[in-house]
Amino acid sequence: MLKKIIITTVLIVGVLFGLKSHVMAEGKSADYKQFVKDAFHTQVALSEKERSLNEIKDMLNTYFTKDFISLFLKENLVKTDKGYQTFGSDFPLYYIPFFSYDDQTKVKKLGNRVYIFENMAKKDTGPVIYKSDYQGVRLKKVKGVWKIDEILYYVPKNIIQSPKATMKHPTHHGLKSLKNSFLNPLTSFILPINFKPIWLLMSKF
């Protein structure tokens, strides 16, 4: 009887420890990066061979929301003799950017969204030219599961800034104050960067 109690206790502790580890791992930056990397490889794999439409949707459904999948397929999927397939393009839309997935790739959670982004300015080699320095993806939870919801061709500055600068107090009041600051554009023109005293301007005449 005592032996059964000990075994049962060990099993319960093991299960609880495993659940805790899973929850902890879900919030690690490396896990988000790996998730996005796997999603990118899935997108690329669609060009390898012809597949049925259901197979393609099943592959994408693991990583992307239904709305995103609809946009991606509409833009990139081509009907072939034996099914469907994607083909290469110099300017692909709705594809995850070419992240390095190292320290240069940043992960930031803001509210109920997770942002993965990177400065792509030094990667303007080859056919893909990035119009903005930062590119990223946005994840949101769908029925308790993280999925990619949008490709960010322009990453807002409040996302790029360090967490200490934007989320010192991650409360509803703090986020509301941050939002209100964007609604008052006059504040950004009080002291512009190129401001010069009037006497310096007059000295040119």
Most confident of 20-34, 125-139, 178-192: 125-139
Summary mean pLDDT of the chain:
73
Residue 112 has pLDDT above 60, yes or no: yes
| pLDDT above 90 coverage of the chain, percent | 53
Q: Where are the alpha helices (DSSP H) in the chain?
A: 2-26, 29-45, 53-61, 66-76, 157-160, 163-166, 172-182, 198-202
pLDDT at residue number 131: 54
pLDDT > 90? residue 92: no
* pTM of the full structure: 0.64
As a whole number of angstroms, the distance between CA 131 and CA 140 comes to 25
CA distance 184 to 189: 10
Model pLDDT, residue 170: 35
- pLDDT over threshold 70, residue 152: yes
Phi-psi region of 65 (alpha: psi -120 to 50; beta: other; left: phi over 0): beta
